[in-house]
Copies of this chain bind each other. A is one copy, B any other.
Amino acid sequence: MKKINKTQLKQLVEAALFVADKPLSRQQLRETVLSEFTVSERALSEVLKALVLDYQPRGIQLVEVASGYRFQSLDSLSPWLSLLWQETAPRYSRAMLETLALIAYRQPITRGEIEQVRGVAVSSNIIKTLTERDWIKVVGHKEVPGRPALYATTRGFLDYFSLTSLSELPSADAFAQMAEETDQAATASIQKEAPSELTDRANEINEAKSVTLND
Protein backbone atom coordinates (compact mmCIF):
# COMPACT_ATOMS: atom_id res chain seq x y z
CA MET A 1 0.00 0.00 0.00
CA LYS A 2 1.37 3.36 -1.02
CA LYS A 3 1.10 6.66 0.76
CA ILE A 4 -0.59 9.63 -0.83
CA ASN A 5 -0.31 13.23 0.24
CA LYS A 6 -3.33 15.36 0.97
CA THR A 7 -3.15 17.44 -2.20
CA GLN A 8 -2.98 14.35 -4.38
CA LEU A 9 -5.74 12.64 -2.41
CA LYS A 10 -8.00 15.64 -2.86
CA GLN A 11 -7.30 15.86 -6.59
CA LEU A 12 -7.92 12.15 -7.05
CA VAL A 13 -11.18 12.06 -5.08
CA GLU A 14 -12.36 15.22 -6.82
CA ALA A 15 -11.60 13.90 -10.29
CA ALA A 16 -13.19 10.52 -9.49
CA LEU A 17 -16.43 12.13 -8.30
CA PHE A 18 -16.46 14.25 -11.43
CA VAL A 19 -15.86 11.56 -14.01
CA ALA A 20 -18.01 8.83 -12.45
CA ASP A 21 -21.43 8.47 -14.04
CA LYS A 22 -23.11 8.00 -10.68
CA PRO A 23 -22.65 8.94 -7.04
CA LEU A 24 -19.66 7.27 -5.37
CA SER A 25 -19.70 6.08 -1.78
CA ARG A 26 -16.60 6.13 0.42
CA GLN A 27 -16.52 2.39 0.01
CA GLN A 28 -16.55 2.66 -3.78
CA LEU A 29 -13.80 5.29 -3.70
CA ARG A 30 -11.68 2.97 -1.59
CA GLU A 31 -12.29 0.00 -3.85
CA THR A 32 -11.42 1.88 -7.04
CA VAL A 33 -9.27 5.00 -7.24
CA LEU A 34 -7.89 4.66 -3.71
CA SER A 35 -7.28 0.91 -3.78
CA GLU A 36 -3.51 1.31 -3.96
CA PHE A 37 -3.26 3.82 -1.17
CA THR A 38 -3.34 3.84 2.59
CA VAL A 39 -5.98 6.41 3.42
CA SER A 40 -7.42 6.78 6.90
CA GLU A 41 -11.15 7.21 7.33
CA ARG A 42 -10.41 10.58 8.88
CA ALA A 43 -8.30 11.77 5.95
CA LEU A 44 -11.03 10.79 3.51
CA SER A 45 -13.67 12.60 5.56
CA GLU A 46 -11.53 15.70 5.72
CA VAL A 47 -10.96 15.73 1.99
CA LEU A 48 -14.66 15.28 1.26
CA LYS A 49 -15.54 18.03 3.70
CA ALA A 50 -12.95 20.35 2.14
CA LEU A 51 -14.33 19.67 -1.34
CA VAL A 52 -17.89 20.39 -0.20
CA LEU A 53 -16.65 23.74 1.15
CA ASP A 54 -14.54 24.53 -1.93
CA TYR A 55 -17.56 24.29 -4.18
CA GLN A 56 -20.01 26.12 -1.94
CA PRO A 57 -19.64 29.48 -3.75
CA ARG A 58 -19.52 27.89 -7.21
CA GLY A 59 -22.06 26.96 -9.87
CA ILE A 60 -21.95 23.31 -8.92
CA GLN A 61 -22.03 21.68 -5.52
CA LEU A 62 -20.74 18.50 -3.96
CA VAL A 63 -23.63 16.83 -2.14
CA GLU A 64 -24.21 13.55 -0.39
CA VAL A 65 -27.18 11.51 -1.58
CA ALA A 66 -28.32 8.01 -0.68
CA SER A 67 -25.75 6.13 -2.74
CA GLY A 68 -22.81 8.44 -2.16
CA TYR A 69 -21.30 11.77 -3.13
CA ARG A 70 -21.98 13.52 -6.39
CA PHE A 71 -21.47 16.88 -8.01
CA GLN A 72 -24.63 18.58 -9.17
CA SER A 73 -25.64 21.96 -10.46
CA LEU A 74 -26.91 24.70 -8.20
CA ASP A 75 -30.68 24.39 -7.80
CA SER A 76 -31.23 28.10 -8.47
CA LEU A 77 -29.61 27.91 -11.92
CA SER A 78 -32.11 25.39 -13.29
CA PRO A 79 -34.25 27.89 -15.26
CA TRP A 80 -31.27 28.72 -17.47
CA LEU A 81 -29.54 25.36 -17.45
CA SER A 82 -32.75 23.74 -18.71
CA LEU A 83 -32.19 25.70 -21.92
CA LEU A 84 -29.34 23.34 -22.76
CA TRP A 85 -31.85 20.63 -23.58
CA GLN A 86 -34.58 20.70 -26.15
CA GLU A 87 -37.00 18.52 -24.26
CA THR A 88 -38.49 19.62 -20.97
CA ALA A 89 -38.26 17.60 -17.79
CA PRO A 90 -40.90 14.89 -17.48
CA ARG A 91 -43.97 15.76 -15.43
CA TYR A 92 -45.59 13.16 -13.28
CA SER A 93 -49.32 12.70 -12.81
CA ARG A 94 -50.95 13.03 -9.42
CA ALA A 95 -51.82 9.33 -9.56
CA MET A 96 -48.17 8.47 -10.05
CA LEU A 97 -46.93 10.86 -7.37
CA GLU A 98 -49.50 9.64 -4.84
CA THR A 99 -48.57 6.03 -5.56
CA LEU A 100 -44.88 6.84 -5.26
CA ALA A 101 -45.46 8.80 -2.05
CA LEU A 102 -47.38 5.88 -0.53
CA ILE A 103 -44.64 3.44 -1.44
CA ALA A 104 -42.03 5.81 -0.05
CA TYR A 105 -43.80 6.41 3.26
CA ARG A 106 -45.48 3.07 3.80
CA GLN A 107 -42.97 0.60 2.41
CA PRO A 108 -43.15 -2.31 2.10
CA ILE A 109 -46.67 -2.01 0.71
CA THR A 110 -48.82 -4.05 -1.68
CA ARG A 111 -50.71 -2.67 -4.63
CA GLY A 112 -53.96 -3.57 -2.87
CA GLU A 113 -52.96 -1.49 0.13
CA ILE A 114 -52.15 1.48 -2.09
CA GLU A 115 -55.56 1.15 -3.75
CA GLN A 116 -57.14 0.92 -0.34
CA VAL A 117 -55.68 4.24 0.77
CA ARG A 118 -56.21 6.06 -2.50
CA GLY A 119 -59.71 4.68 -3.01
CA VAL A 120 -59.03 3.94 -6.69
CA ALA A 121 -57.32 1.24 -8.70
CA VAL A 122 -53.62 1.68 -9.37
CA SER A 123 -52.92 1.18 -13.06
CA SER A 124 -50.31 -1.37 -14.04
CA ASN A 125 -48.74 1.33 -16.12
CA ILE A 126 -47.86 3.37 -13.06
CA ILE A 127 -46.19 0.44 -11.36
CA LYS A 128 -44.37 -0.36 -14.57
CA THR A 129 -43.12 3.20 -15.09
CA LEU A 130 -41.96 3.52 -11.49
CA THR A 131 -40.15 0.20 -11.76
CA GLU A 132 -38.53 1.11 -15.06
CA ARG A 133 -37.33 4.40 -13.62
CA ASP A 134 -35.68 2.34 -10.90
CA TRP A 135 -37.58 4.18 -8.20
CA ILE A 136 -39.42 1.18 -6.78
CA LYS A 137 -38.78 -2.53 -6.64
CA VAL A 138 -40.41 -5.68 -5.36
CA VAL A 139 -38.82 -6.59 -2.04
CA GLY A 140 -40.94 -9.60 -1.17
CA HIS A 141 -44.41 -11.01 -1.11
CA LYS A 142 -47.03 -10.64 1.55
CA GLU A 143 -48.10 -13.88 3.16
CA VAL A 144 -51.78 -13.51 2.37
CA PRO A 145 -53.85 -15.28 -0.31
CA GLY A 146 -52.42 -14.48 -3.73
CA ARG A 147 -49.05 -13.55 -2.18
CA PRO A 148 -49.13 -9.99 -3.58
CA ALA A 149 -45.81 -8.26 -4.26
CA LEU A 150 -44.51 -5.87 -1.63
CA TYR A 151 -43.05 -2.68 -3.07
CA ALA A 152 -40.35 -0.44 -1.63
CA THR A 153 -38.39 2.52 -2.94
CA THR A 154 -34.82 2.19 -4.18
CA ARG A 155 -31.65 4.17 -3.66
CA GLY A 156 -32.20 5.48 -7.16
CA PHE A 157 -35.40 7.12 -5.91
CA LEU A 158 -33.56 8.88 -3.09
CA ASP A 159 -30.77 9.94 -5.45
CA TYR A 160 -33.25 11.34 -7.92
CA PHE A 161 -34.88 13.48 -5.26
CA SER A 162 -31.52 14.46 -3.73
CA LEU A 163 -32.17 12.69 -0.44
CA THR A 164 -29.75 10.71 1.67
CA SER A 165 -32.43 8.72 3.48
CA LEU A 166 -36.17 8.24 3.72
CA SER A 167 -36.25 10.20 6.96
CA GLU A 168 -35.43 13.33 4.93
CA LEU A 169 -38.69 13.05 3.01
CA PRO A 170 -40.95 16.04 3.58
CA SER A 171 -43.83 15.43 5.99
CA ALA A 172 -42.20 12.23 7.22
CA ASP A 173 -43.26 12.98 10.78
CA ALA A 174 -46.92 13.42 9.97
CA PHE A 175 -46.82 10.11 8.17
CA ALA A 176 -45.17 8.28 11.00
CA GLN A 177 -47.87 9.51 13.35
CA MET A 178 -50.64 8.57 10.96
CA ALA A 179 -49.09 5.18 10.38
CA GLU A 180 -49.31 4.44 14.07
CA GLU A 181 -53.01 5.14 14.12
CA THR A 182 -53.57 3.34 10.84
CA ASP A 183 -51.74 0.22 11.87
CA GLN A 184 -54.39 -0.45 14.44
CA ALA A 185 -57.24 0.00 12.03
CA ALA A 186 -55.65 -1.31 8.85
CA THR A 187 -56.99 -4.84 8.89
CA ALA A 188 -60.45 -3.69 9.70
CA SER A 189 -60.63 -1.17 6.90
CA ILE A 190 -59.54 -3.67 4.25
CA GLN A 191 -62.32 -6.00 5.23
CA LYS A 192 -64.93 -3.31 5.39
CA GLU A 193 -64.49 -2.42 1.73
CA ALA A 194 -64.88 -5.99 0.67
CA PRO A 195 -68.01 -7.29 -1.03
CA SER A 196 -70.96 -8.62 0.94
CA GLU A 197 -69.63 -12.16 1.50
CA LEU A 198 -67.12 -10.71 3.86
CA THR A 199 -69.56 -8.56 5.75
CA ASP A 200 -69.86 -10.95 8.65
CA ARG A 201 -66.18 -11.14 9.09
CA ALA A 202 -65.84 -7.40 8.64
CA ASN A 203 -68.31 -6.84 11.43
CA GLU A 204 -66.38 -9.07 13.71
CA ILE A 205 -63.23 -7.16 12.96
CA ASN A 206 -64.98 -3.85 13.40
CA GLU A 207 -66.10 -4.91 16.81
CA ALA A 208 -62.60 -5.96 17.67
CA LYS A 209 -61.33 -2.66 16.37
CA SER A 210 -63.72 -0.51 18.36
CA VAL A 211 -62.36 -2.16 21.46
CA THR A 212 -58.85 -1.25 20.39
CA LEU A 213 -59.82 2.32 19.62
CA ASN A 214 -61.54 2.79 22.93
CA ASP A 215 -58.51 1.74 24.92
Chain A contacts to B: CB under 8 angstroms: 10-16, 18-20, 32-36, 58-60, 71, 73-74, 77, 80-81, 83-84, 86
Contact in complex: A81, B35 (CB < 8 Å): no
Contact in complex: A32, B74 (CB < 8 Å): no
Contact in complex: B58, A14 (CB < 8 Å): yes
Q: With A18-B60, A60-B18, A84-B16 given, is the CB distance from A77 to B32 under 8 Å?
A: no
Contact in complex: B19, A81 (CB < 8 Å): yes
Contact in complex: B60, A14 (CB < 8 Å): yes
Which residue of chain B lies nearest to A35 when distances are taken between CB atoms in the complex? B83
A86: chain B residues at CB < 8 Å are: 32
Tell me the bound Cα distance from A43 to B169 in angstroms: 41
Tell me the bound Cα distance from A164 to B10 in angstroms: 29
* Number of identical protomers: 2
A-B contact pairs, 26 of them (CB 8 A): A10-B59, A11-B59, A11-B74, A11-B77, A12-B59, A12-B77, A12-B80, A12-B81, A13-B59, A15-B60, A15-B73, A15-B81, A16-B59, A16-B81, A16-B84, A18-B59, A19-B84, A32-B80, A32-B86, A33-B80, A33-B81, A33-B83, A33-B84, A34-B80, A35-B83, A36-B80
Contact in complex: B18, A83 (CB < 8 Å): no
Tell me the bound Cα distance from A60 to B13 in angstroms: 10
A10: chain B residues at CB < 8 Å are: 59
A11: chain B residues at CB < 8 Å are: 58-59, 74, 77
Tell me the bound Cα distance from A133 to B175 in angstroms: 51
Contact with A18, one of B16, B20, B71 (Cβ below 8 angstroms): B71
A18: chain B residues at CB < 8 Å are: 59-60, 71, 73
Which residue of chain B lies nearest to A24 when distances are taken between CB atoms in the complex? B84
